[in-house]
Structure 1
Amino acid sequence: MKLMKLTLTALFAVLIAASAMAMDMKPGKDVTVRPARATWNTGFFQEALARRGLEELGYDVQKPKDLQNPIAYKSIYLGDIDYWCNGNFPLHDPQLPKNFEKNGVILDPIITAGGMQGYLVSKKEVEKYNIKSLDDFKRPEVVKAFDLNGDGKADLTACPPGWGCEKVIAKHMETYKLDDYIKPNKASYEAGMASTLGAFKSGKPAFFYTWTPNWTVFKFKPGQDVMWINVPEEGDTEGTVSGVEGAVSDPLRPGFVVYDITVVANRKFLEKNPAAAKFLENFKLTIGDVSAQNTRMNEGEKSDKDIAKHVDEWIAANQDTWNGWLDAARKAAM
C-alpha cells in the first residue's frame, strides 16, 4: 500500500511537470516564419496580433512584407511567404492563382462578414424622412436636407478616383438614375470624412460610403448615430446580408460584396507547424476590436511602436482568450 501511494505520488508529479512544461513549450523554436501584410493600414492590427502569438510560441517571425493582394497570394502559393491575415473572401477570389488550393489554405474567418461596405445616413434624418434606400434621395425634401453646398444635389462623401468603390458608386448612380439627385464627392477620403464628422457634430446631416473595419464606424456608431441604408432592389446583383447592426432593414441590400476577413497560409507551412496552424485557426477578432484600433491610428497612433502598444493592450484586456489560443497551439504540437 505504501509503495502504491509513492507510485501514485510520483505519477501525479510527472503529470503536473509535463503539464507545466507544455504550457511553457516553445514549439516554434528555431523555425523562421515569413509573413506578409496588406498595403492598407486598417489591416495592420490583426497581422501584428498574429505575429505576436507566433513569437510567444517561439517562432522567429520576420518583419512582414507589405504586398498587393495578387502578389501575396502568388507568394503563398509558391512558398515564398508563409501566411498573411488580410484575405478578404469572396472579394479576393478572382485574385487567387489557378489551383491555389493545391498549395494554399484559406482558414476560417478572423471576422465573419467583417468586410461590410455600403452607404450610411445620419439616424436623425433617416427617422425624420423615413429613408430606407438610395431611391429616397430622389425626393425633393431629402435632396434639400443633404444639399450642403447649395448646388441642388445631396452631398455624398464617396471614394477618390481609382479606388474600386469609386467604380461601384458610379455604377449605382447610373443604374438607379441618381446623377441628378446625388453628387459623390471624390476628394481625399480621410479629409472628406473628417469634414463630414465635423459637420455632423455641428448638427448637420451625414451621408457617406464606408467599409469595415474602419475608424468611421467607431466615430459614427451604426444604430446610434447613423444607419446603413439599402440600394434599390432593381439592378442589385450583390444580394442581401442579415444581422447588420444599425441597418434600416433586415436583411439589408448594401450594394457591395460582404466579405470575411481571413488568414491565408501556405499548406506545407501549416502541415510542418501544427502549433502555428492551431493558433492561426483559433485567432478571432470583432469588428469593434479592429475599428477601435483603426480609430487610434487615424488620430495619429500609427507607427509600428504604436501598433505594438495596441497589441499589448488588447492582450491584457483579453488575457484568458489569448492564453487559451496559446495553450491549444502548444497542445497541438505535443
Structure 2
Amino acid sequence: MKTPSSFQFIFLPTLISLMMGLISCQPTQQSSHSSSNLPPEEVTIRSAHTTWIEESFQTTIVNIGLEKLGYQIDSVQELEYPGIYLSLANGDLDYTVIYYSPSHQTLFDQAGGDEVLQKLGSFVPIGNRGYQIDKKTAEEYGITNLEQFQDPTIANLFDMDRDGKADLAGCNPGWTCESVINHHIEVYELEGTVEQNQGNYTALLSDVITRYKEGDPIMFYAYNPHWISAVLRPDEEVIWLEVPFTSIPDNPDITEEDTIFNGKNMGFSGGGQEIVVTKEFADANPVAKRWLESVQISLEDMNEVSLRIKEGENSQEDVRRLAEEWVSKNQEQFDRWIEEAKAAEN
C-alpha cells in the first residue's frame, strides 16, 4: 500500500489548486455516456492507475467484471498524483482504484471532494502498519513493546553495525512513515538506543530477509498489504510490537482507538483502499456502480500477488494471467457480485 510523501502534503494541494483553476477555464469534454442511462454495451469505461504494478492487477480484475457485464473498456492510462484525481474531476476518467484512506483525503478534497467524486466501498480492507521483529528473539527475551528498546541490552541484540543502537529498517526518505518513525524514536525516548536505517524500502527489506535467513535478529517497519507479509509472516516468523502510547506528528485527531489492531496499539493508523468514481458516472451507470462498490480483494491475496510480481511475474501478460487466476480462484463470489450488479439495472 503506498502513501503520499510529506512533500506531497505540502506541495500537492497548492499544485492541485493551480491546476484546477486552469481546468475551470477550459471547456470540459464530457463522455457520451455520462449524461444518460445507456445499456452497458453502449458505454466505454475509462480508468487509470499509477505505475505501481499491483494497481494494474487490481484494475484488471475490476475491468474483467465490467467486461462480463457488457461494458466496453478503454485503454487503461498510467498517471501519477495529482493527475488521476484531476482527470476524474475534469470528466476525463470514470474510475480509479488508487484512493488510499486516509492518506489521499487531501488529494480527494482538492479535486472537488464529495461534490464531484464518490468513494465506493472497501476495495482492499484496512491493513495495519507498525514495527516487527523476529519471533524467535521476541520469545527468547520476552519482547512485546517498542518501549523495551530503551534497555541497551535489548537494543544491542538488533545492533548490526555495532554503533550501540538497534538498527530499524525504515522507509524511503520523504515517505510519511519516515517522519513518524523519527518522531516515535524521540517521544518513546529511544534516541540513545534505536536508529532508523533509510533508503530504498525494497532493498532494506531484502537485507532484513538475508539477516533473518542467517539467524540474526531483525527489526523493521512493515505495512499491510505488502509482499513482505507473504515472506515473513506475522505470528509465524515475526511479531508486531506494541507502542507505549499513540503519538502521530501533526495529526492530533488520530486517537488510540485508530491505532489499535487485534488488541495491540501499533502506533500507526491503518489504511484501506477504495475505488473512486465521478458522481456523474455513478448516477448514470447503476450496474457499473454496484459492481465497483461490491468487488473486494483480500489482504492475503494482495500479499501473495505482490510477492509473485516482485519475483518476476511483472509483464502485462503476467498481470492479466494473475488477474484471471484470481477470478477463477474466487469464481463463486465473483459470480455473486456480477449477479448483484445486474440486479441494480431494475
Q: Same fold (TM over 0.5)?
A: yes
User: What is the CA distance between 1:41 and its match in structure 2?
Assistant: 3.1
User: What is the CA distance between 1:309 and its match in structure 2?
Assistant: 0.7
1:162 alignment counterpart: 174
2:220 is aligned, of 196, 204, 208, to 208
Give the conservation status (yes or no) of the 8 Å contact 2:259–2:270: no
TM-score normalised per structure 2:
0.82
1:222 is aligned, of 228, 231, 234, to 234
2:115 alignment counterpart: 102
- Equivalent position amino acid for 2:151 in 1: R
Check if 1:126 corresponds to 2:127.
no
* Structure number, greater radius of gyration: 1
- Equivalent position amino acid for 2:163 in 1: D
1:294 alignment counterpart: 306
Deviation larger for 40-49 or 254-263: 40-49
Give the conservation status (yes or no) of the 8 Å contact 1:42–1:213: no
The alpha-carbon distance between structure 1 residues 211 and 42, as it changes in their structure 2 partners (threshold 3 A), is: farther
User: What is the CA distance between 1:289 and its match in structure 2?
Assistant: 0.7
1:312 is aligned, of 324, 327, 330, to 324
Give the conservation status (yes or no) of the 8 Å contact 1:161–1:186: yes
Check if 1:65 corresponds to 2:77.
yes
Cα distance between partner residues in 2 of 1:128 and 1:108: 42
Give the conservation status (yes or no) of the 8 Å contact 2:50–2:79: yes
Cα distance between partner residues in 2 of 1:146 and 1:66: 41
Give the conservation status (yes or no) of the 8 Å contact 1:153–1:181: yes
Check if 1:113 corresponds to 2:126.
yes
Give the conservation status (yes or no) of the 8 Å contact 2:211–2:217: yes
1:279 is aligned, of 291, 314, 328, to 291
Cα distance between partner residues in 2 of 1:41 and 1:176: 36
User: What is the CA distance between 1:255 and its match in structure 2?
Assistant: 2.1
Check if 1:135 corresponds to 2:144.
no
1:251 is aligned, of 256, 263, 275, to 263
1:85 alignment counterpart: 97
SS in 2 for 1:231: coil
Cα distance between partner residues in 2 of 1:319 and 1:194: 34
User: What is the CA distance between 1:277 and its match in structure 2?
Assistant: 0.7
Give the conservation status (yes or no) of the 8 Å contact 1:113–1:259: yes
- Equivalent position amino acid for 1:67 in 2: L
SS in 2 for 1:29: helix
- Gaps (5+ residues) in structure 2? 1-37
Identity of aligned residues (%): 31
Cα distance between partner residues in 2 of 1:297 and 1:234: 34
Deviation larger for 252-261 or 297-306: 252-261
The alpha-carbon distance between structure 1 residues 283 and 46, as it changes in their structure 2 partners (threshold 3 A), is: same
What is the count of residue pairs matched by the alignment?
303
User: What is the CA distance between 1:78 and its match in structure 2?
Assistant: 2.5
- Gaps (5+ residues) in structure 1? 1-25, 245-249
Cα distance between partner residues in 2 of 1:255 and 1:69: 27
Give the conservation status (yes or no) of the 8 Å contact 1:54–1:276: yes
TM-score normalised per structure 1:
0.84
Give the conservation status (yes or no) of the 8 Å contact 1:83–1:264: yes
Cα distance between partner residues in 2 of 1:205 and 1:186: 18
Check if 1:54 corresponds to 2:69.
no
User: What is the CA distance between 1:320 and its match in structure 2?
Assistant: 0.9
Check if 1:332 corresponds to 2:338.
no
Check if 1:261 corresponds to 2:273.
yes
Cα distance between partner residues in 2 of 1:254 and 1:38: 28
SS in 2 for 1:113: strand
The alpha-carbon distance between structure 1 residues 261 and 276, as it changes in their structure 2 partners (threshold 3 A), is: same
The alpha-carbon distance between structure 1 residues 54 and 180, as it changes in their structure 2 partners (threshold 3 A), is: same
The Cα RMSD (Å) is 2.0
User: What is the CA distance between 1:242 and its match in structure 2?
Assistant: 7.9
SS in 1 for 2:122: strand
